[in-house]
Chain A
């Protein structure tokens, strides 16, 4: 724990932990909305902001943050134009962001070295301004995911049904996109532009596979995100490797191990039921016929309250 004596490591752990929590929850919603690549796209757009900020001699982190939010708003509008193929909107905005970043970077020949910390992340890159930004983003993200958890669940399953329930789908989707942009930009200093999506997508990908319910998927994703960031930062310090790549590899290993464990458990379950000659679920699945004398006996809802 010698590394925690350093201020920059304390900041990296604190900021990384906060961002891991909100990024993992964001990832679950993004994956289920079939927008898993949105984080990747926004990080590339954000890079254009970083390059633009450097060129205009402004704070690159702040300009990257602003441009990521602008990109998130743009993608929401383009998504509505290509409703059935929402990945097209991702591709369009990513091309725009990356091409602008390349052009702007070529105009900043003198600072190519510092760009590598934006591309691959750096534990020393988290200064006090960025730490404050991350705390603010984590707070806003947490409030959003708590207050809007019910409408978000409904929108994520089906936007049209949510709209018929009186949920302002367009507004909530727009705020969701802006929050996505903010979280991506805030996570950039630690994991870097190229791998920011790993922190968002990988915990969610595993959580969705192994969780028994939606609520548990959110908590499992947060747990995996925290383990990934803390182990990745530790390994990065010990091995002097870039934190972005190290965190992404740890998360990938967790994903592969989690999926393998799940398959093994399924296989073991099949073997057990074969040996014990157990039959599959034989509870009737017929739609009950309704007669005049039909009565539905319920427990008054008491039986299911503790389960959700």
Chain B
């Protein structure tokens, strides 16, 4: 099922476009990496696909419903957002639990399921023991992990992350790739992430979308590589 797509999209922040004739398709159940050099508009591409910014020209499509016909739940982890909010006076538990607010009305009482999803997400990123600490006390890598946990607590159909492994050590990065691979293969989630560490993540991926520089300036994106996503967890 097609979840998100872009067709001949043109966008710029000034009068000069930074993204030209961008095409992209994201299907459900894929683990996709978006890559390209610095300044290639990778973040812009994600924001366009999420509808956070409007393109100058071209078509952007984002599915409203998932395969079961329910409202599509999107988990989004922006670039280094936790580092920006380092003084936020919230516990990790409060913060990750806020991911579950996306389901149901704003005034509903949070259920056992919400708390269970929160606990599971925190355990999956290895931060459950720290749940009562404040966000400001964490390191950059730990903050990034609780942002990932919040997105996972949403039980998202589509998980979009902008350089999610920033600040993580190598062991944590591999733990993260394995976790995402598990969510794609076992829970049928779709994961799209911007990364510069293609060599590391390559064996976990289904596809790579690379932004290439156009000869006349600007950037375009095209699907360049299909990966097997052949990673098989040990044990």
Contacts and interface: CB of A to CB of B under 8 A. Distances in A.
Interface of A: 28, 32, 147-151, 153-154, 157-158, 160-161, 163-166, 207-208, 211-215, 217, 281, 283-294, 296-305, 307-308
Interface string B91-125: 10111011001100011001011111111100111
Contacts of B233: 290-292, 294
B176 interface: yes
A307 B93 contact: yes
Interface stretch (B34-42, B74-82, B189-197, B211-219): B74-82
B102 A166 contact: yes
A168 to B, nearest CB: 11
A158 B50 CA distance: 15
Contacts, number: 161
B235 A294 contact: yes
A287 B172 contact: yes
Contacts of A283: 129-130
B235 A292 contact: yes
Contacts of B74: 164-165
Contact of A304 (B89, B119, B129): B119
B181 to A, nearest CB: 8
Contact of B85 (A157, A289, A305): A157
A214 B94 contact: yes
A293 B232 CA distance: 12
A194 to B, nearest CB: 27
A181 to B, nearest CB: 23
27 contacts: A32-B89, A153-B90, A157-B81, A157-B85, A157-B95, A165-B74, A165-B76, A165-B101, A214-B89, A214-B90, A283-B130, A284-B126, A285-B126, A288-B124, A289-B178, A291-B233, A291-B235, A292-B235, A293-B235, A300-B115, A302-B112, A304-B115, A304-B119, A305-B110, A308-B93, A308-B97, A308-B110
B126 A288 contact: yes
A300 B113 CA distance: 8
B234 interface: yes
Contact of B168 (A214, A287, A291): A287
B52 A163 contact: yes
B182 interface: yes
A292 B90 CA distance: 34
A212 B91 contact: yes
Given A285-B139, A288-B125, A289-B171, 8 more contacts: A165-B102, A213-B134, A285-B126, A287-B172, A287-B176, A289-B174, A298-B119, A307-B93
A239 to B, nearest CB: 34
Contacts of B113: 301
Q: Determine which residue in A208, A281, A299, A304 has the highest number of CB atoms from chain B within 10 A of its CB, and name it.
A: A304
Contacts of A304: 93, 97, 115, 118-119, 131
A301 B50 CA distance: 31
B132 interface: yes
B226 to A, nearest CB: 24
Interface string B24-57: 0000000000000000000000010010100000
B58 to A, nearest CB: 20
A165 to B, nearest CB: 5
A305 B112 CA distance: 8
B17 interface: no
Given A150-B98, A160-B76, A288-B175, A213 B89 contact: yes
Contacts of A308: 91, 93-94, 97, 110
Given A164-B76, A292-B235, A212 B134 contact: yes
Nearest to A151: B106
Contacts of B85: 157-158
Interface in B207-233: 232-233
Given A32-B88, A217-B89, A308-B97, A160 B106 contact: no
A305 B93 CA distance: 10
A287 B102 contact: no
A165 B114 CA distance: 16
A285 B142 contact: yes
A300 to B, nearest CB: 5
Contact of A301 (B78, B87, B115, B134): B115
Contacts of B110: 305, 308
- Shortest beta-carbon contacts, A-B, top 10: A301-B115, A301-B116, A291-B235, A287-B172, A287-B175, A290-B178, A214-B90, A164-B76, A293-B235, A283-B129
B175 A214 contact: no
A298 B116 contact: yes
B154 to A, nearest CB: 8
Contacts of A287: 125-126, 145, 168, 171-173, 175-176, 179
Nearest to A301: B115
B140 to A, nearest CB: 12
